[in-house]
Amino acid sequence: MLTLVPEPIERYATAHTTPLPPLLQELISVTQERFGRQAGMLSGQLEGTLLQMLIASLGAHRVLEVGTFTGFAAQMMAAALPEDGQLITCDTDPKAIEVARSFFERSPHGHKISLREGPALETMRSLEPGFDLVFIDADKESYISYYEEALRLFSTSGLIAVDNVLWSGRVLDPKDESDHAIVAFNKHVSRDERVTNVILTVRDGLMLVRRK
Ligand SMILES: C[S@@+](CC[C@H](N)C(=O)[O-])C[C@H]1O[C@@H](n2cnc3c(N)ncnc32)[C@H](O)[C@@H]1O
């Protein structure tokens, strides 16, 4: 369980949050079976439900996700979109993409999801602006580039949500390249005069950003 709060508190919060539908519980089990420890990358019930709340509150129609993995957050977010809403998500890992696609086909919200295989920056650069929410959750070294591209793509009233910004606490004592990338990213956004941002201590740290 990836969390920065005591695990009993995380379990309590999860137990008192809207339960997941059976298909998403199955997706978690399949992801754990096939990806082992990597399954910890999946954002999970608390963060997924928070993203749903944001999408519903914004009245969002178009959502972009950077980093699909097995499609957990994509499915959660798609469920909060209206019938004519659209979620574009992208990833480079064929093994994860295969699982994501097989579950999107079975999801009642799968028709809203378009999965693009390939490097996220290429996908982002190919898109027209007008997204209501951009969820950044891929390789940490590219976070500043994803953020700058997301600023181009999201509407003036939209939000950018960025995962793992507390990086299991390693932001306090950065050692490797990913640690330093997250530290640089957090500094970049908090000094960016175009935006207002907040870091929520949900799961591994979720940053929300909106234009001033
Ligand atoms: C943390 S996981 C995403 C989890 C997913 N958002 C969820 O909540 O279920 C990160 C994903 O980013 C993908 N990724 C890494 N580098 C990428 C890149 N350059 N372009 C697109 N996807 C990338 C990885 O393959 C991995 O599946």
- 104-153 per-position pLDDT tens digit: 999 999 999 999 999 999 999 999 999 999 999 999 999 999 999 999 99
d(CA 168, CA 16): 24
Instruction: Give the residue, out of 23, 37, 41, 77, with the most ligand 1 atoms within 8 A of its beta carbon, to mutate for a pocket test.
Output: 41
d(CA 38, CA 23): 20
Confidence of residue 174 (pLDDT cuts 50, 70, 90): very high
DSSP-assigned letters across all residues of 173-206: S--SHHHHHHHHHHHHHHT-TTEEEEEE-STT-E
Residue percentage of the chain with pLDDT more than 90: 96
Tell me what pLDDT residue 193 has: 97
Residue percentage of the chain with pLDDT more than 70: 100
Please state the φ and ψ torsions of residue 31, each to the nearest 5 degrees. -65, -40
Q: Is any ligand 1 atom within 6 A of the Cβ of residue 43? A: yes
DSSP strand E in 42-182: where?
62-66, 86-91, 113-117, 131-136, 154-163
Confidence of residue 5 (pLDDT cuts 50, 70, 90): confident
> What is the residue-averaged pLDDT of the chain?
96
d(CA 212, CA 182): 23
Atom of ligand 1 nearest to the CA of 96: 27
Prediction pTM value:
0.97
Tell me what pLDDT residue 177 has: 96
Pick from 199, 174, 196, 203: which is nearest to 186 by CA?
199
d(CA 99, CA 78): 17
The rounded Å distance from CA 139 to ligand 1 centre is 6
Tell me what pLDDT residue 4 has: 86
pLDDT at 191 over 80: yes
The rounded Å distance from CA 92 to ligand 1 centre is 7
pLDDT at 35 over 90: yes
The rounded Å distance from CA 146 to ligand 1 centre is 12
Q: Is any ligand 1 atom within 6 A of the Cβ of residue 21? A: no
d(CA 181, CA 186): 9
Average pLDDT over residues 89-104: 98
The radius of gyration computed from the CA coordinates of the chain, to the nearest angstrom, equals 16
* Structure-token pair, residue 136: 């950044």
Q: Which fold has domain 7-211?
A: Rossmann fold (3.40.50)
Tell me what pLDDT residue 178 has: 96
